[in-house]
Amino acid sequence: VLLGDALHTAHFSIGSGTKLAMEDSIALAEKLAFRARRARGARRVRARAQARHRRVSAGRHESRLWFENARDYVRLPPARLAYSLMTRSNRVTHESLRRATPSS
């Protein structure tokens, strides 16, 4: 990266070379800070996406097993079948269902 006199010279008679060099430095510092913030932002977005993916895929094995054995579950009475389907992967639990429908 070139800054100051290495990048451009102002005739000393106008007395602005130092100011221009300082402004170049400030612009460079701002650019570097912006890139660092953007990189941190991108890392945060990636981490959130990975956490979401982990949450969603946590119960995939149990869910697949439930559907593979659906033949056994369809014999259940409708309410128990619905309960079994909803809680198949442990992402929805008895407790979370109770909280969502407190009157039941």
Ligand X SMILES: Cc1cc2nc3c(=O)[nH]c(=O)nc-3n(C[C@H](O)[C@H](O)[C@H](O)COP(=O)(O)OP(=O)(O)OC[C@H]3O[C@@H](n4cnc5c(N)ncnc54)[C@H](O)[C@@H]3O)c2cc1C
| Chain contacts with ligand X (rule: CB under 6 A) | 3-6, 12, 15-19, 21
In the chain, count of helices (H) and strands (E)? 6, 0
Q: What is the distance, to the nearest Å, from the Cα of residue 4 to the centroid of all Cα atoms in its chain? A: 40
What sign does the dihedral 22-28-31-33 (CA atoms) show? negative
CB of 5 to ligand X, least distance (A): 4
CB of 11 to ligand X, least distance (A): 9
The residue among 26 and 76 lying less far from ligand X, judged by its C-beta, is 26
The residue among 5 and 62 lying less far from ligand X, judged by its C-beta, is 5
The residue among 19 and 44 lying less far from ligand X, judged by its C-beta, is 19
